[in-house]
Structure 1
Amino acid sequence: MTLDDALCLPRNSYDGSCGYLARYGPAQTVGFVGRDRFYFKNTRTGDFDVYPDLAFGCGLHNENFAFGENVGPGNVIAGIHGLAPGPRSFLIQLEAQVKGRFSYCIPQTNTAESTIYFGDDAQISGDATREVKMISMNSGDLYHLYLLGISVDGNRLSIDPSIWQLTRTTGFFIDSGTPYTVLVKSAYNPLKQAMIRYFGDHYGWQPMTLPPGRALDLCYSTYPNDQQKFPSVTLHFFLSGHSGEIDMVLGGDNMFLPLKDYQGFCMTVTSSNDNTRCILGAVQQKNIKFLYDFYNSLLYFVPENCLEDSKTNSIEGEICMNEADNISPVPSAQAQAQAQAQAQEVSQTK
């Protein structure tokens, strides 16, 4: 792609052609922006529809993308399918087909694959026991959700909700490319203490003593038996025009990761400094189907057995690195594998 191309924004040069630099947490990718033919499987006909001349980034220098066993500063990744509604994003380039809608469902197991649905194929439904809920969403460079509070085992935590307000540096975002949820310390510490009280009061368990610097820093050396249970965690969200709160209930599989041979577990939430962004990560999204409607600023969700919803990925073609100037939700089995790998590190310290 040349520097004067309409989609070369911003006009960064890479070896004389249109280039890009995208950062994703501690990771970054650098390369050039090109155009190519993409093939997508039509779920109605089974054939492949061809979309020529789509712009995408080809990452030639990718660093610190930790997916499963693929770690280290000079690792190799197949690509990132960014889905934020930026001017060069996949969603906007195929706006007529996507119609501002896409859905995904992350399976419980990290070996399963799952299809992303776009446009009219992005549907969501429930039944008598599974209610489809919707919450307000800000569809900017990232997908911001209006979180109002957190409860553990039905007890509301004392957290100032202003820490999740959308500003240049703060907010609460949903991102399935992040393995586990990230909370600022003023939200993480009350959550951690509530978990410690729950397991101490109910079962007399005390957390493991771990070396400093662990991403997963709340772990136990005992796993609940059939008569014991994990506490539920409820996220309370805002819906414009609705008088009450909309609750997203997260069970044990969303909040805790077993250690090797179920000899213990870790809470899959990490902390960051105050006045930074919070993220609802992939592990917390497992077995919940999400439908993004960014034209109407709504996010729909419903509990789902995502294994029943999973199919082979329907995108085909040679892609070095899909457009990533606004990297956002990327349903990823590798993200779950990364969380599992860090938990296994903890098990070795027992």
Structure 2
Amino acid sequence: MDIKKIVVVGSTNMDMVVKTSHIPVPGETVLGGSFFMNPGGKGANQAVTVARLGGDVHFISKVGNDVFGKQSSQLFEEEGINTFYVLSDDELPSGVALITVDEAGENSIVVASGANGNLYPDDLKDALSIIAGAGFLLMQLEIPMDTVRFVADYAASKGVSVILNPAPANTLSPGLLNCIDIITPNKKEAEMLSGIKVTNIESAKKAAKAIYGMGVKNVVVTMGPLGAVICQEGKILVIPAQKVEAVDTTAAGDVFNGALAVALSEGKTFPEAVQFASMAAAISVTRMGAQSSIPYRNEFIAVSSKIEGSINE
């Protein structure tokens, strides 16, 4: 099988996680719970997902010249990720995410971007040949928007398929949208992009069509336990969610995107790739943490055989 190379451009963070009974409201202090640190960052999570599921991945990122940055780079190499373009920043520390996870597995996240905010187009000049030779480019929005636009425009000009996970939610320019082959918003992000309130599958279908109408070639609106809504060439499909008991939803979207890129790089159809990605994300939410929750390919095959889903129009 001819597997196409995947380049991930994005963030690297160290996640500091507290598991507690509920997410505190402003002014509230919640006692109890457990604490642990786990490597994270949307870009890093997606790169690790690609590697663990058997993809050929290069990761472009920027970390601080500190203990978190060195630890992250070492972990990437251990995962089999090409880290030649994981850059070190002498000015800013590595990114940090403060995450609270409640008993239902829902989370609240605050990110201090650190070195991620210093990944600019000039830093990528030496990596352009790697991007041009890739089959797929995968990005998120935890790095400067100028960098996202620059890389997407360059990749599109070279015929590389661009996958954008528009998280955290942000406004996207028409020029950027026209460069994107696949966009993968969750319901909140789809709502922001489309202007349509997304509460169920029917409203997600309307939002997906609206985003498709903005110039994006393919749209996937991820709806958590409700499944995923695809708009491919104007046609709507629904991929039902796999039924699992969620423990922690942190990084589920990142796992979905990394798995989607892997499936497409292996030649799966778009609906098949979304179904594959949905299964990988379902496995991840049954575990705590970001990268600690990401399944390996052999494990994915064993677990996903117990999960059933179908594709509906």
| TM-score normalized by the length of structure 2 | 0.27
Question: Which of 1 and 2 has greater Rg?
Answer: 1
| TM-score normalized by the length of structure 1 | 0.25
Q: Which has the higher helix share?
A: 2
Q: Which of the pair has the greater relative contact order for Cα pairs under 8 Å at 6+ separation?
A: 1
